[in-house]
Amino acid sequence: MLDRSEVGKRGYLNEDYRLFHLRDERPLRLDYHYHEFDKLVLQLGGHVTYTIEGKSYLLQPMDILLVSRNLIHLPVVNPEQPYERMVLWINRDFLSRFSTPQADLANCFTLTARQEFHLYRPRGEDRKRYRDLFGRLWEASREEAFAGPLLADTCALQLMIALNRDILTAPTETAAVSYRFDPKMEEVTHFIRDHLGEELTIERLSGAFFLSRYYLMHRFKEVYGCTVHQYIRQKRLQQAAEQIRQGAPVLKAAEEAGFGDYSAFLRAFRSAYGRSPRNWK
């Protein structure tokens, strides 16, 4: 489920950020996936429904999606229209490097993830302003002139400062008409994320929410694009990876994330992240 790239190899970002300008005229074949970095998507053209953690956003031109790291997502594209967008992958360490105690540049991702609403819809002149901000970063990141990388960093920071300022003051009245979701399945995923360290079986989940086993498994797969078991395992891996990144012992991180079998954890971790937990740390 770990995405391996917008272009070429998906899912790995070894630099501070990377910007793509993409136009697809043929149907995309993507699975639900996630990244270890944050992502902005500027919608330019096409008929696209973008699903993030079970919420399906109905995109309009110049919409901006904020996809925080580790969120499961997928664009569903109508092949009758070309799908054009600009996609910025950005490393959280880059944002931290230029943040201050009063100005956390990752706040826009943290806030939208906490609110579970990942769409920002610029209005009026702001639509052109964001197109220009993405465009300047695109041009600067391809310059070979004096201080080209520094200019690109400046453009990336200008974009992130503008987005953080606007997210903090964005109106919410359009939220209800901007997306679709299944409230019951959202309750199930909240329960899963709050009880990762415990035993989570289909029987327990279906009993807790008064659903039949068949309906829960079928509807969850329909909404999230993966099975309940796959979702639980992925969220456990993400929790363990984050704790290891912060310095927790590998065995303790695995246990607290709900892995009773350490060897099974190691196999799943290597499969998901391409390296052992110790190398990850």
pLDDT in tens, 18-39: 999 999 877 766 778 888 899 9
Residue 1 lies in a domain: no
Q: Look up the CATH number of the domain holding residue 140.
A: 2.60.120.280
191 and 55 within one domain? no
Distance in angstroms (rounded) separating the CA atoms of residues 80 and 47 = 8
For the cut 60, the answer to whether the pLDDT of residue 1 exceeds it is: no
- Residues forming beta bridges with residue 86, ordered by sequence position: 21, 42
119 and 167 within one domain? yes
**pLDDT per position as a tens digit, 60-72:** 999 999 999 989 8
Model pLDDT, residue 126: 95
Residue 12 lies in a domain: no
Cβ–Cβ under 8 Å, residues 122 and 70: no
208 and 237 within one domain? yes
Query: What average pLDDT is seen over the chain?
Result: 89
Q: Which of 20-34, 148-162, 250-264 has the lowest mean pLDDT?
A: 20-34
For the cut 60, the answer to whether the pLDDT of residue 174 exceeds it is: no
Expressed as residue numbers, the domain containing 38 is 17-177
Of 139, 154, 177, the residue that ends a domain is 177
125 and 25 within one domain? yes
Closest CA to 133 of 144, 143, 122: 122
Q: Which two tokens stand for residue 53?
A: 């953690």
270 and 222 within one domain? yes
161 and 30 within one domain? yes
Coil/strand/helix, residue 82: coil
Q: Look up the CATH number of the domain holding residue 196.
A: 1.10.10.60
167 and 221 within one domain? no
* Percent of the chain's residues with pLDDT above 90: 63
36 and 159 within one domain? yes
Of 154, 177, 200, the residue that ends a domain is 177
Q: Which two tokens stand for residue 209?
A: 């929410």
Average pLDDT over residues 111-133: 94
Residue 8: pLDDT band (50, 70, 90) is: very low
Of 122, 146, 177, the residue that ends a domain is 177
Residue 6 lies in a domain: no
Average pLDDT over residues 113-133: 94
Number of domains in the chain: 2
Model pLDDT, residue 67: 96
Model pLDDT, residue 175: 54
Average pLDDT over residues 185-212: 93
95 and 232 within one domain? no
Residue 2 lies in a domain: no
* Percent of the chain's residues with pLDDT above 70: 92
Distance in angstroms (rounded) separating the CA atoms of residues 33 and 1 = 5
Q: What is the pTM of this model?
A: 0.85
Residue 280 lies in a domain: no
> Dihedrals φ, ψ of 33, to 5°?
-155, 175
For the cut 50, the answer to whether the pLDDT of residue 4 exceeds it is: no
Q: Which two tokens stand for residue 249?
A: 């012992």
100 and 196 within one domain? no
33 and 138 within one domain? yes
Model pLDDT, residue 194: 93
Distance in angstroms (rounded) separating the CA atoms of residues 257 and 196 = 6
> What residues contact 212, with CB distance under 8 A and at least 6 apart?
206
Residue 10 lies in a domain: no
Termini Cα distance of the chain = 21
Average pLDDT over residues 47-71: 92
Helix ranges restricted to H, 20-170: 92-98, 107-115, 125-140, 148-169
60 and 76 within one domain? yes
Model pLDDT, residue 10: 46
